[in-house]
Amino acid sequence: MAKPKTSFYCQNCGAQHSKWQGQCNSCKEWNTLVEEVLEKADKQGWKSPATAAVKKIAKPLRISEIETSREERLNTNNQELDRVLGGGIVPGSLTLLGGEPGIGKSTLLLQISLNLNYKTLYVSGEESQQQIKMRAQRINPESNNCFILTETKTQNIFSQIEKLEPEIVIIDSIQTLHSDYIESGPGSISQIRECTAELIKFAKETATPVILIGHITKEGSIAGPKVLEHMVDTVLQFEGDRNHVYRILRANKNRFGSTNELGIYEMQGNGLREVSNPSEILISKNDEELSGTAIAATLEGMRPLMIEIQALVSSAVYGTPQRSATGYNAKRLNMLLAVLEKRAGFRLGAKDVFLNITGGISVDDPALDLAVVAAILSSNEDIAVPKDICLAAEVGLAGEVRPVTRIEQRILEAEKLGFSTIVVSTQSKLPKNNFIIKIQRVSKIEDVVSFLFG
């Protein structure tokens, strides 16, 4: 009997080594190398009926000779997911959805599979069919297109796929699958890579989209080798706090669309509700005006959002003043505080400054700068910024107010939500539209101070 072929893999980064050693040469972690059997038999893998009968050999073609046909994306009946994917699911694509335990990954994909108009196979390696049925009854008890399979062996899954011929396949989760051609246990680097490769081959040869659920590590990255994220077409991240009801869906990688889009859901007893107007959760509904808050007009992908910025400025109790930012770049906060002290004459060097973006989201848009400055000055002077005023501009190191991109979309969103005034840079190029909202142009921070606080 031939000796099985083995190799050593780093459980942290997935790097392959020919022999065991204490430290990984790639990630420099200690005691992470584990021996795994590579193959125990000749691979058969996935074979569709067409490719099994006729073995095609790929030939090089000029790019002008390649024929293309516009394939329609599959509509998921979920506007938030379609927006993040770039318009729907691409046939033959492989999508990986990651997130913390209990955040709602399985609920989201089960809800989508129950509402699809296509024949869907939901493969679960973590729950029984009865457990899935109990959860499905809360979401959508009536669905004739969703088929549930509890299986972890890829060869058995492919045999059921050939019989059922589904239009979409959902795997929950990739860490529970195992292939007969790899000796190591489920969840190991070799198994994850092999199972993903078999699913990719199946998806590309049959033009059937596959959606995978992936576990994450305690650092927040998807468990398994980093090559897993390189192999798939789309990597989605499902974020949120289990103590709050709102969830955020982001695309970390998307070969068929933008990675700037954002999907927002609300966790309810009967599943996840799509939040079509995110400003309802990002702006506090207070009747009285409070100091230290300002509204910013920002963009996430193609979607305009109105975000509330909260700031608290107080005298430093200890010798070194604190600078803390939640959802905002702390280095940029320090820069804006330096600009306020140098260019506008506000003495904030001996005061604690705390900044928070409501709703639990993180935003990198430079258009938030002016709203951050307004919120800090409002808290420092203890004067409230009127609730019907929003701001959209970048602040430079010289204290000048700079324009931001796609200002028309920001103005129209503010107008739609009932704001009376929006503060923008004098350099912003506005179209010749008759806006109902008042547009206040400013060129320096001093102009903003005089306009908001007199």
Least confident of 51-55, 204-208, 365-369: 51-55
363-396 pLDDT per residue, tens: 889 999 999 999 999 999 999 999 899 999 999 9
Q: So what's the pLDDT on residue 39?
A: 57
User: 106: annotated binding-site residue?
Assistant: yes
Amino acid letter, 351? K
User: 454: annotated binding-site residue?
Assistant: no
Which three-class secondary structure string do you get for 95-148?
EEEEECCCCCHHHHHHHHHHHCCCCEEEEECCCCHHHHHHHHHHHCCCCCCEEE
- The C-alpha atoms of residue 94 and residue 22 are separated, in whole angstroms, by 35
Residue 191: pLDDT over 90: no
Q: Where residue 65 falls among pLDDT bands split at 50, 70, 90?
A: confident
DSSP helix/strand/coil, 373: helix
- The C-alpha atoms of residue 133 and residue 145 are separated, in whole angstroms, by 14
- The C-alpha atoms of residue 129 and residue 113 are separated, in whole angstroms, by 15
User: 102: annotated binding-site residue?
Assistant: yes
Give CA separation, 427 vs 55, 195, 406, 435, in Å. Answer: 62, 54, 13, 18
Q: So what's the pLDDT on residue 51?
A: 45
Residue 72: pLDDT over 90: no
User: 93: annotated binding-site residue?
Assistant: no
User: Do 376 and 347 touch, CB atoms closer than 8 A?
Assistant: no
Q: So what's the pLDDT on residue 2?
A: 52
Average pLDDT over residues 312-327: 87
145-171 pLDDT per residue, tens: 899 999 999 999 999 999 999 999 999
Buried b / exposed e over 245-262, threshold 16 CB at 10 Å, is ebbbbbbeebebbeebbb
Residue 69: pLDDT over 80: no
Q: So what's the pLDDT on residue 13?
A: 78
- Spatial neighbors of 173 by CB under 8 A, at least 6 apart, are 125, 126, 212, 213, 214, 215
- Spatial neighbors of 337 by CB under 8 A, at least 6 apart, are 323, 348, 353, 376
121-148 pLDDT per residue, tens: 999 998 999 999 988 888 877 778 899 9
Signed CA dihedral, 332, 333, 336, 337: sign only: negative
Q: Where residue 53 falls among pLDDT bands split at 50, 70, 90?
A: very low
Backbone angles phi, psi at 281, to 5 degrees: -105, -15
pTM of the model: 0.74
User: 4: annotated binding-site residue?
Assistant: no
Q: So what's the pLDDT on residue 50?
A: 47
Q: So what's the pLDDT on residue 49?
A: 47
Q: So what's the pLDDT on residue 96?
A: 94
User: 105: annotated binding-site residue?
Assistant: yes
User: 104: annotated binding-site residue?
Assistant: yes
Least confident of 55-59, 269-273, 340-344: 55-59
User: Do 234 and 253 touch, CB atoms closer than 8 A?
Assistant: yes
Q: So what's the pLDDT on residue 52?
A: 47
Residue 334: pLDDT over 80: yes
% residues pLDDT > 90 (the chain): 40
- The C-alpha atoms of residue 203 and residue 91 are separated, in whole angstroms, by 8
- The C-alpha atoms of residue 283 and residue 31 are separated, in whole angstroms, by 48
pLDDT: which is higher, 432 or 245:
245
User: 98: annotated binding-site residue?
Assistant: no
- Spatial neighbors of 384 by CB under 8 A, at least 6 apart, are 289, 290, 291, 293, 378
Q: Where residue 45 falls among pLDDT bands split at 50, 70, 90?
A: low
Work out the mean pLDDT of the chain and round it to a whole number. Answer: 85
CA angle 32, 211, 136 (to 5 degrees): 110
Signed CA dihedral, 55, 61, 66, 72: sign only: positive
pLDDT: which is higher, 354 or 263:
354
Q: So what's the pLDDT on residue 8?
A: 85
- Spatial neighbors of 56 by CB under 8 A, at least 6 apart, are none
260-293 pLDDT per residue, tens: 788 889 888 888 998 887 777 777 776 678 899 9
